[in-house]
Amino acid sequence: MRTYPILPLACFLLSACGSAADESAAPAATTNTEATSGAESADATPTAAVQAATAVATLESKSESHVTGTIRFRQSADGVEVTADLAGLTPNTKHGFHVHETGDCSAADGTSAGGHWNPAGVPHALPPAASRHAGDMGNLTSDADGKVHVTETFHGFELAGPNSVVGRAVIVHAKEDVGSQPSGDAGARVACGVIVAE
């Protein structure tokens, strides 16, 4: 009896089975890739949440002024969008405004908020200068009614992490910040508000 012709047939069958097994494994690889993509999407969600973070400072009148209002902060991919809505300022004038180092507005003249927030220890300057105090936001210009409504985007600080302004204070000054040292010669502190996360 001849049996040797069966061996090539067995090898052929085993080879065909191996191909079928390889084909059945392919969808599993696709499933794993899809699972990885899903994980990457999940990782993107916290980043989006950070970019959507908001905070607000409700301003109290200081130095016997009548200035009140709010300054809102919104984190975006382009920086921090700052919206100032104020009333009670001298009409048609410029007023320096800055983030100050301490979230304390208890003093009648706002001095409890400390100096400009300057973690890098660089000289004072006006935007858009790249090298300036992190808290230097330049000037607000009041209209004929002594009001301000303006939105600007700033870089150099954030609403989370080591460069966060949350818990610090915003100060509005009586005069224009002229960019001089050490802090712009902007005069009295006429409003103060602690920046609080929303």
DSSP state of 111: G
Q: By the 8 A CB rule, do 178 and 110 touch? A: no
Please give the angle made by the CA atoms of 117, 119 and 124, to the nearest 5 degrees: 60
Q: Is 101 helix (H, G, I), strand (E, B) or coil?
A: coil
Peptide bond into 8 cis (omega under 30): no
Identify which of 94, 35, 59, 73 has the alpha carbon closest to the alpha carbon of residue 163.
73
The CA distances from residue 62 to 80, 94, 112, 132, 191, in Å, are: 26, 17, 11, 26, 5
DSSP state of 112: G
Catalytic residues: 98, 100, 116, 124, 133, 136, 173, 189
